[in-house]
Structure 1
Amino acid sequence: MKVIIIGAGVGGTSAGIALQRLGHEVVIYDQMRENKPVGAALSLWSNGVKVLNWLGLGAEVAALGGRMDEMAYLDGHTGEMMTRFSLEPVTRQTGQRPYPIARAELQGLLMERFGVDSIHLNKKLVGIDDDGAVVTASFADGSTDTADLLLGADGARSFTRDYVTGGLEGAPRVERTYSGYTNYNGLVAVDEAIGAADAWTTYVADGKRCAVMPVGGGRFYFFVDVPQPSGLAYDRADGKAPLEEAFAGWAPGVQALVDAIRPEESLNRVEIWDVDPFDTWVRGRVALLGDAAHNTTPDIGQGACSALEDSFALGIVFATNTLGVEDSLERYRRVRADRAGDLVLRARKRAWETHAFDPEATAAWYAQLRAEDGSGVIRGIVGNIEGSPVNLGGGLLP
């Protein structure tokens, strides 16, 4: 069977590896001119890491990932410790340590394992035709390719999604919703003045969040949330000026982070949007995965993990079902749509609670953190993992 995948991100390349391992011919197309991953790093919780283990990448991912043993929340204004606790229960209950990891390094690993010769860049998808026997993909440069099925891993602004949901023929398009905040992220050297080298440290106040996670190579991945309207003007030349303004007077650890940021080296600014859950993931021999199917906010750290779950489900479905492409894709949709949509809504709820869109709810959360022994946060993290298809129904150990 030949498979075309549109999109060379984490979802597309991991799905490509999964299907290659079953003996299928897979080719990936992406409109980017060169491999420049969006975002500095990502959090791979146990469910995402397990998929990478299943793909044969466990040792490499462990080597690239940061060692994150603890989690801490601090008052953003004073630097006072609100709560600090071990993340060991997550590892013990789920059977796998989580790893924050630099996105470019994970992306490079996945592309290399898939095979860079089978990844074609600067290819913008402009047409899909499914005659019931083969799918034809048409690109802006006039080229075409055909395959037995096409997977759209082409991101939040997915062309494939418009095809699958009928948006190209006049049906209402699946639209994104602004979450209410802008995220700044990047990489800086580990500095104990900011947070412990083996901890996920987060400063919170006024609905804002300033956090660091350890990734490989003695670096922190920082991600900073500023609630604000969408569409505000920003020029790359502005650098970190918006952060200096938003966090003026905050705790010394936050000032140390802002001081450490080198915009010319690593600083991304991203407005955070998501998509209402929908279940029209499949149309004939064409299916969606990753952000094209379940674009989410990063508030529970499950975006990349959910895309990896898609790849796992696709691999299992095509390894075990034999009634044809359309049947297998529909089974994949049934495995994934409800679970992925639930994570989107959980992340949206979390964003609402933590960014002071409901000031009373956010104040209550801050008060809860001050009384937290870790069990409540651990319960939430594990709750996001326990329904993963990678657990194969085995659940979690107590």
Structure 2
Amino acid sequence: MHNLNAIVVGAGMGGLTAGIALQQAGYTVELYDRVKQLRPAGAAISLWSNGVKVLNRLGLGKAVADIGGQMDRMAYYSSTGETLTEFSLQPLIQDVGQRPYPMARTDLQALLLNRFGAEHLRLDSTCVGIEQDEHSVTAIFEDGHRATGDVLIAADGTRSRLRSEVLGAPIERNYVGYVNWNGLVDAREDLAPKDSWVTYVGDHKRASIMPIGGDRFYFFFDVPLPKGTASQPDLYREELSQFFKGWASPVQLLIQRLDPQTTNRIEIHDIDPLPRLIRGRVALIGDAAHGTAPDLGQGGCQAMEDALVLTNYLQTTNISVEDALSRYQTARLDRVADIIKRARKRSDVTHGKNPETTKQWYANLKHEDGRDIMSAIAHTILSGPLN
């Protein structure tokens, strides 16, 4: 299918990756986003090897390595600082053929936007509807602008407006049961070794520190809480001090050093696996297609896989756009459903959905030499399209 005109709605990880992949396939791409200024959601992203491989394929390997953190080891500690398990990630890297790169979302977004070309992006454009026939598809925007092309990629995030256009009905997000605070701090050895991802666990909570580029750590805290608890940034430090009272010294130092004004506080939601990802010439990708809890660190990676798989089918099948999208759906539906279910299951184990199960997980960590953890991560990576 030569010289397709693609319309992409949403300039997050999925939309930008799709834009780059489609451009490289020789297609004309128009990219739209409803925001007035592009700001990433969340402080950082743990880009596991399957996501990195997609960016390698798009020629961004060196640039990604430059902004990524050097994560060579992984460790779990009890809330009081006792080592539960610690191991090198080298066997995982050998197994899957690529190291992971945790990185600041701002850095990744800038990298992708730069490669895509900011001049092809229109901001302050809210897509409110779609029309399509057998020849084309049109995105209709709030300001009256209409964009017509051969294919429309809906990458408009977890609160997607276009999802209901594909499904024929709106979908509710599910509260997974915990609140997550996340942000960035300077990397210092009194918090964690600069090459290690460390996580403190206890009382169904987590405090975690991960190295990213620019000599910084990405951190997050998880606390199971009822839905709808109110909070303001000026209270974050006091709240976290209460929730993590008596936890090990690095956790206390982290709470003191974080900047409440640049820390995000999110109630974690997911979306049940969808029955379909396409309708005619419209395809859902990224969080619009599969809102998942972050417990497998696969949200961004799956968006990137979507973008690549979709572009591959548009490039390699010449029956019709609809046929290519149908093949994309077949290739992705089970894969993303599996990630959503496993992330939710993982979240339940970590956050005390069944307290006995969580207690057992803590006990198991003491006997873990890294093999089981790495094997589970490798399974997730190797069941993707670039294995």
TM range (shorter): over 0.9
1:208 pairs with one of 194, 205, 222: 205
Encode CA deviations 1:38-77: one digit per residue, 9 max, x unaligned: 100000111000000001100000000000000000011x
Aligned twin of 2:98:
96
1:113 aligns with 2:115: yes
Q: What is the SS of the residue equivalent to 1:389? A: coil
Q: What is the SS of the residue equivalent to 2:125? A: coil
Deviation at 1:29, TM superposition (A): 0.5
2:112 partner amino acid: L
1:23 aligns with 2:37: no
1:361 pairs with one of 348, 357, 363: 357
In 2: Cα distance, 1:240 partner to 1:26 partner: 44
TM-score by length of 1: 0.95
In 2: Cα distance, 1:280 partner to 1:258 partner: 42
Q: What is the SS of the residue equivalent to 1:129? A: strand
In 2: Cα distance, 1:45 partner to 1:348 partner: 18
Aligned twin of 2:38:
35
Aligned twin of 1:317:
313
2:12 pairs with one of 9, 28, 53: 9
1:48 pairs with one of 47, 51, 63: 51
Encode CA deviations 1:254-311: one digit per residue, 9 max, x unaligned: 10111110123x2001110000111311111111000000100000111111111101
Question: Residue 237 of structure 2 contacts residue 256 of structure 2 at CA under 8 Å; is this kept in 1?
Answer: no
Gaps of 5+ in 2: none
1:149 partner amino acid: V
2:67 pairs with one of 64, 69, 94: 64
In 2: Cα distance, 1:283 partner to 1:52 partner: 27
Question: Residue 71 of structure 2 contacts residue 101 of structure 2 at CA under 8 Å; is this kept in 1?
Answer: yes
Deviation at 1:236, TM superposition (A): 3.0
C-alpha RMSD of matched pairs (Å): 0.9
Encode CA deviations 1:313-344: one digit per residue, 9 max, x unaligned: 01211121111100000001111111011001
Encode CA deviations 1:95-123: one digit per residue, 9 max, x unaligned: 00101010010001101100101111111
In 2: Cα distance, 1:95 partner to 1:75 partner: 31
1:376 aligns with 2:348: no
Aligned twin of 1:228:
225
Deviation at 1:237, TM superposition (A): 3.2
How many residues are treated as equivalent by the alignment?
A: 384
Aligned twin of 1:177:
174
Identity of aligned residues (%): 50
Encode CA deviations 1:126-171: one digit per residue, 9 max, x unaligned: 111112211111111121111111110001111111100002xxxx
1:340 pairs with one of 336, 350, 355: 336
1:137 aligns with 2:139: yes
Question: Residue 184 of structure 1 contacts residue 223 of structure 1 at CA under 8 Å; is this kept in 2?
Answer: yes
In 1: Cα distance, 2:264 partner to 2:237 partner: 10
In 2: Cα distance, 1:312 partner to 1:368 partner: 37
2:188 pairs with one of 171, 188, 191: 191
In 1: Cα distance, 2:229 partner to 2:142 partner: 31
Question: Residue 8 of structure 1 contacts residue 29 of structure 1 at CA under 8 Å; is this kept in 2?
Answer: yes
In 2: Cα distance, 1:235 partner to 1:192 partner: 30
Aligned twin of 1:292:
288
TM-score by length of 2: 0.98
Aligned twin of 1:396:
none
1:386 aligns with 2:382: yes
Deviation at 1:2, TM superposition (A): 0.5
Question: Residue 18 of structure 2 contacts residue 307 of structure 2 at CA under 8 Å; is this kept in 1?
Answer: yes
Question: Residue 51 of structure 1 contacts residue 309 of structure 1 at CA under 8 Å; is this kept in 2?
Answer: yes
